[in-house]
Structure 1
Amino acid sequence: MIPSPADAAPAKCATSVNGLPVPRSWRAVPFSLNQVDLAPSVFTEKRDRILAYARAYPADRIVANFRAAAGLDTLGAQPPGGWDDATGNLRGHYSGHFLSMLAQAWAGTGEAVFKEKLDHIVTALKQCQDAWATQVGLPGTPPPPATWTGGGLELSGDGQYVGLPDATIDGLTAATIVIRLRIDELRTWSRAFDFGVGPAVNMFLTIHDGTGPRFAITTSGSGGEQRIPVATALPVGEPVTLAVTLDGQVGTLYVNGVAAGTNPAMTLTPADLGAPKNNWIGRSQYGDAGLKAVVDEFHLFDRALSAEELATATGNLAWYRFDETSGTTVADSSGRGWDAAVVTGAGGPPGPSHAGFLAAYPETQFIQLEQYVTYPAIWAPYYTCHKIMRGLLDAHTLGGNATALTVARGMGEWVHSRLSRLPREQLDRMWSLYIAGEYGGMNEVMADLATLTGDRTFLTTAGYFDNTKLLADCAADTDTLDGKHANQHIPQFLGYLRMFEQGASRDYRAAAANFYEMVVGHRTYVHGGTGQGEVFRKRDVIAGSIVTSTNAETCAAYNMLKVARNLFALTPDARFFDYYERTLVNQILGSRRDADSTTDPLVTYMLPVGPGVRRGYGNIGTCCGGTGLENHTKYQDAVWFRSPDNGTLHVNLYIASTLRWAERGVTVTLAGDYPRSPSATLTITGRARFDLRLRVPSWARTDFTIKINGKAQRVRVTESGYVSLHRDWRTGDRVEVTFPFRLHVEQTIDDPSLQALLYGPLTLVAKSAATDYLQISADPTTAVPGPRPLTFTLGDVLFEPLLLGDNAVHHTYFRRT
């Protein structure tokens, strides 16, 4: 889709924002972070808690994994942990987010501590990149290949295991799992299989617990395990068949077709594990010894088989025969095509294939992706690459660090060297892989790199990340989002916009605009979030996608806000900020707990909307822990926009702040306590003639009022959703804006009886320990003020704003009877 340079020259820009040139296609331009100062409000309260974490967190921990991978001294620092621990397949991503947070904090506050940490980390990353460069061309020790015996897969017990697809056991309330193997070494706690999300939530079968095999399932760690133990040790060097059946309250563990242990008091099922992504044969969630055995067959059923059936039945959900002779793919013979992948171990640390490589692990994952190795054997290597490059570019553009651009450029050259040799068909297959092929916004950073360096080779590199089929569907306005991983795809569309702005095809812009409508208009909850279990569900299915605790990943909201902001820059229409406001003041503000911590960011992974749910906070080292660092350090980046000729000033959000508009020689101060107060006052310092455009929120169209220097003005809302005030402005001019909050109800698209209550822009949630939808017969808009500001009561039900960051049980939707 990228035209030749002769067809589309780079956009020429006379000005910049946040260190990047303003694209010629923009009709509205945001101000740089350092041109806007936030005044005290709920936004600064949330921001300051993250800034306290940023000040306290040791910089050397952020680079520990990079130093270890490059063979440098870690200076005794431990890595962040979580997904960014010393062995995780996503390590390094959190460091990129941390860089972006520091850059934003420095630009927004000017505090020296943020700049000092930023420069320290960039210097360390450059040292790591230089260390990798000395190893370019060295073959290293390749990972040991998978050993196929002709009648099974031989697992070495040294980092080798089999990764099954994500949804392998999702939703199962009854199941049978059968595995046939020959144990070569009876290692205590070694796993035949282990499915879960970590040691606290999983189900596993160990071949030896010190006495014999044991099956266990838990949602609360080892202390909450429901177990089926067997008191006799399994044989070594002989074929053995192990089977577990789960049927209602009865769980049975079979050894060679004989029931060897049972538990008649089981209450947990695989469905209680949620949507586990670590579905492994031969690997433990706890980090126990690997399985040293030959695996011959594996079967998964969606029912409990009888003892007689175990010998001959073949799995209807998954059936792996392990009769391959080479490679790392294990074919699924069940008919569902759910192939598994063999992880063949890390091997020795191979040198990078090209100068410029930088990661917190060797190049292995990138090589395996080109071989179509699936998740969880590998875990989104280009996603991690994007986070690091984005953090470096932010360190350069926001933090003024020239070395950061040098490091990012080297990484870009390394990426180009890997991908430029691959055919389009191979790239398409790579990017279609669930999670393994997730690449974040690699096309975005490559387009930005082309802008900052003037090297259009990087724009070509951005095109290598085209997700061809989905891109074409969205460009044609064909909705094929159902079942796709939300945050795997959202940032791709921000990248398409960046590419369009650099002269690439208009199809990129059309695809992004249509994608935005598919999500915002048809897949968004009342608080602005999207997705169930990280996945887009069917168009216009809102009520039907609400579950207990897996809605609205915070990363998805983070990226959708970026897309909305960029679309507004191209087409200044208030509807983009109706969505932006809803998501910002509800999901984003509500994603940070109202508590202080200098050791934990205290941000959410998901912000669920089901009945009787709680928010979980924490998330050090996770994807949402990373975007959570950024969410709360850039609130001022969407309040004010100007026209490219500096003749118009847009006010999109009424966040208390001061704008220094140097091009016009004026300062505009916006005072108020939005969104906790339904009014704001703008005061002008300086003199200039310009068009002041005030966004009229969709929820305040009938009540929006304006006074200039105390005199009421006639409100005329433009087609784009603004009130336009064009005049000569002078020092002391005051514009008073009121946008009264009123209670109103929003119904779900697919079930009008399922409703949510809002007060102006604020989503109100009912505080109740009930686990089913609350039944409300009275008109919700007749609720009366509650015991605290912005709270309401309806009968005995208390409603509070979602932005209050607590972990109390709440209901976002209720049933209107």
Structure 2
Amino acid sequence: MRTVIGAGGQTKLTDGPAKDRWQLNSRYLRSLSVSNLLRPYRAQAGLWSYSGSWGTTIGAAANDGPENWHWGWESITCELRGHILGHWLSAAARIGRQDAEVAARASTIVAELAGCQRANGGRWAASIPPTYFERLVAGKPVWAPQYVVHKTLMGLLDQYRIAGNEEALSVVSAFAGWFHDWSGKLSREQFDDVLDQETGGMLEVWADLLAFTGDQRAADLVDRYDRPRFFEPLLAGIDVLTNKHANTQIAEVLGAARAWEVTGVQRWRDIVEAFWDGAVEARGTYCTGGSSCGEVWQPAGEQSARLHAVQEHCLVYNMMRLAAVMFGWTGDRRYADYWERNLVNGIWAQQHPDTGMPAYFLPLAAGSRKQWGRPTEDFWCCHGTLLQAHASIDEAALYVDGAGISITQYLNSVTTWPDLFGGGVQLTIAADSEEGVVLGQRQTLHGAAGIQELLSRPLPPRRPNHRVYVVDVRCDRPSRFELRLRVPSWAVGAPMLEIDGESVPVTVDDGWIVAAQVWSRQRIRLTVPSGLSTVRLADRPDTVAVLDGPVVLAGLTSQEPILFGEADEPASFLVPDQERQHSWWRTGTYRTVGQSTGIRFVPLAEIRDEPYTVYFPMRAQRATDREMP
């Protein structure tokens, strides 16, 4: 099994589009105050109250009125209140490796949660009351209490796993005692009824707790949080996905994946593989790589009637997590390709490039507009997964096993291993934005110098039709290992490889170039040819979306005009447009030719508030063209 790199703190993003997105997210995370994040927890523990009257509100709370509070799903009256803190802790565990202030605030929050737990009697540590679980068992209306508690447990476990906070693990262990007692009082049928309501990732946190502690209570909870009503039909090949709540089911399957890693019981892995087959391989995805519409799975092979509320952000994030897990199990390139397409056309496309706010859905219908959340007035679930997704963006880029290192994503970064293959190893990855194209690239010092210095290396005369990745390998001592480079499925020709400036014969095996040698101080240069391609709607094959490499393009129009040209040859109706901006190449900018109305195309990930259309009906030629002699 391969090990994902990043969670140990060895990877740091360097200047480039991924770091830009990471920094946007980090600024948002830092903008959320400790007092607001903790408010529902302290209120539940009897440690905070507010009357609105200076005569009865005591202490600092008197100056902390509702105008400063979190609202939306974090409103003190909402049954989901407190969910965002768990996401925040998870993201802060990662961001805190590079930001001491964030790390300190996270430690403060963990200590405060421990204080709330003590005030609640030593076990309960949630932002909602235990009575919500009584309502759940009784079948009375209540909004996803297990989902809310899962977020708290997840955030605490990430603080332990990544930040090394022992107190966080102690809080979870004590809280697990409450869940062990509560669930132990219910019959299997009663508990299955409970699990038919949204459970979040509770199975995953119990598997994590079992891995960290070996506690028998955690093992019991893993068994109890099994989902036979969902998992058994899934294993039998029955469709239990169509029109079901997608983000609920992926969270449960991530729990099965973690349970397999911890217990080794094959059934858990079989569940995961059956789910992937049903959710992705047999069902198909949209051009973005995403799935679901209106929070539920679309029918297999049917997309055209469900383009209005595509790919809930949370589902994109969780499916990417599963793809990363399955790549770690198998090394199969398709999971890395899936992860990349969803990063570019999901996680990045659903983060506002200027404000950093999330879009709950990514509509793909004609004339769509993205609907952006607000910093403190909404707090959808997607605000939470936004925090996590961008904080963990580096964690699926590199994998290590006993034979070598796999580079799955070419994100500008530096990764250091203090002891790997007999010594220290460092990999620096950078996309060359002068010789190749890079989505989201902006001005660099190198690029600015390149347009001034007449004796510097000449620039390509026009926008390159390839992407160039430079990998620098540095070893403390000469070390032999494999360096495996992913050749993406969107490559339109044979890649080229240079090591220290010398061309190297290339063999691509199952999507990988394997360079096995003694490494010390080498520079690798990988050139991957890219170009335009189209993806057809599964149930309307005359309607296509256009991609530039892995990047989905959107037409800046509020209409759904018919485009004339060859559907499988986008160059028959699109030509480069606005390809150069000062000192960098603009990626994915095109305009139509030979059409009655001109339309500009840009990357979907760069759309802000403009109306756009992604899928276009195609015709080979106009009727008037056929009538001409």
TM-score of the superposition, structure 2-length normalised? 0.85
CA apart distance, 1:477: 3.2
CA distance, structure 2, for counterparts of residue 510 and residue 59 of structure 1? 42
- What letter is aligned with 2:365? G
Counterpart position of 1:514 = 274
Counterpart secondary structure, 1:526: coil
Counterpart position of 1:811 = 613
Counterpart position of 2:503 = 712
CA distance, structure 2, for counterparts of residue 724 and residue 459 of structure 1? 40
Counterpart secondary structure, 1:603: coil
CA apart distance, 1:608: 1.2
Residue 516 of structure 2 corresponds to residue 726 of structure 1? yes
Counterpart position of 1:628 = 386
For each residue in 1:411-454, what CA deviation from the matched residue of structure 2 results, as whole angstroms up to 9, or x when unmatched?
Answer: 2221111112211111222222xxxx111111101100111112
Which of 20, 24, 40 is equivalent to 1:49?
24
Which of 201, 217, 227 is equivalent to 1:441?
201
Which of 521, 524, 528 is equivalent to 2:285?
524
CA apart distance, 1:701: 5.8
Structure 2: 5+ residue runs without aligned partners? 50-59, 441-465, 580-585, 620-629
Counterpart position of 1:760 = 549
Counterpart secondary structure, 2:379: coil
Residue 241 of structure 2 corresponds to residue 478 of structure 1? no
Check whether the contact 1:28–1:572 (CA below 8 A) recurs between aligned residues. no
Which of 575, 587, 593 is equivalent to 2:352?
593
Which of 411, 420, 435 is equivalent to 2:175?
411
Counterpart secondary structure, 1:492: helix
Which of 452, 464, 484 is equivalent to 1:693?
484
Q: How does 1:352-751 map to 2 (within 5 A)?
A: 355-373=122-140, 377-432=141-196, 437-521=197-281, 522-547=283-308, 550-596=309-355, 602-619=357-374, 620-643=378-401, 645=402, 647-664=403-420, 665-672=424-431, 674-675=438-439, 678-686=467-475, 687-700=478-491, 702-719=493-510, 721-731=511-521, 733-751=522-540
CA distance, structure 1, for counterparts of residue 561 and residue 255 of structure 2? 42
Check whether the contact 1:591–1:805 (CA below 8 A) recurs between aligned residues. no
Counterpart position of 2:592 = 794
For each residue in 1:448-484, what CA deviation from the matched residue of structure 2 results, as whole angstroms up to 9, or x when unmatched?
Answer: 0111112132122022222212211222333321111
Check whether the contact 2:79–2:142 (CA below 8 A) recurs between aligned residues. yes
CA apart distance, 1:675: 4.1
Counterpart secondary structure, 1:457: helix
CA distance, structure 2, for counterparts of residue 475 and residue 708 of structure 1? 47
Counterpart secondary structure, 2:490: helix
TM-score of the superposition, structure 1-length normalised? 0.66
Q: How does 1:173-192 map to 2 (within 5 A)?
A: none
Check whether the contact 1:614–1:809 (CA below 8 A) recurs between aligned residues. yes
Check whether the contact 1:704–1:738 (CA below 8 A) recurs between aligned residues. yes
Question: For the aligned residues, what is the CA RMSD?
Answer: 1.6
- What letter is aligned with 1:124? E
CA apart distance, 1:738: 1.1
Check whether the contact 2:2–2:399 (CA below 8 A) recurs between aligned residues. no
CA distance, structure 2, for counterparts of residue 73 and residue 482 of structure 1? 44
For each residue in 1:656-684, what CA deviation from the matched residue of structure 2 results, as whole angstroms up to 9, or x when unmatched?
Answer: 11110222211111111544571110011
Q: Structure 1 pair 701/473, CA: closer, same or farther in 2 (3 Å)? A: farther
Counterpart secondary structure, 1:607: coil
CA apart distance, 1:700: 0.8
CA distance, structure 2, for counterparts of residue 504 and residue 684 of structure 1? 35
Counterpart secondary structure, 1:616: coil
For each residue in 1:557-610, what CA deviation from the matched residue of structure 2 results, as whole angstroms up to 9, or x when unmatched?
Answer: 0110111111111111101011111001111111111214xxxx5111111111
Check whether the contact 1:28–1:568 (CA below 8 A) recurs between aligned residues. no
Counterpart position of 1:124 = 112
CA distance, structure 2, for counterparts of residue 457 and residue 47 of structure 1? 38
CA apart distance, 1:33: 5.0
CA apart distance, 1:544: 3.1
Q: Which moved more, 1:666-675 or 1:403-412?
A: 666-675
Counterpart position of 2:40 = 65
Higher helix share: 2
Check whether the contact 1:589–1:805 (CA below 8 A) recurs between aligned residues. no
Aligned length: 550
CA apart distance, 1:545: 2.2
CA distance, structure 2, for counterparts of residue 56 and residue 481 of structure 1? 38
CA apart distance, 1:384: 0.6
CA distance, structure 2, for counterparts of residue 422 and residue 30 of structure 1? 40
Check whether the contact 1:100–1:392 (CA below 8 A) recurs between aligned residues. yes
For each residue in 1:293-321, what CA deviation from the matched residue of structure 2 results, as whole angstroms up to 9, or x when unmatched?
Answer: xxxxxxxxxxxxxxxxxxxxxxxxxxxxx
CA distance, structure 2, for counterparts of residue 40 and residue 797 of structure 1? 32
Q: Which moved more, 1:552-561 or 1:709-718?
A: 709-718
CA distance, structure 1, for counterparts of residue 237 and residue 266 of structure 2? 14
CA apart distance, 1:713: 2.0
Give percent identity, aligned residues only: 30
Counterpart secondary structure, 2:139: coil
CA apart distance, 1:724: 0.7
Residue 81 of structure 2 corresponds to residue 106 of structure 1? no
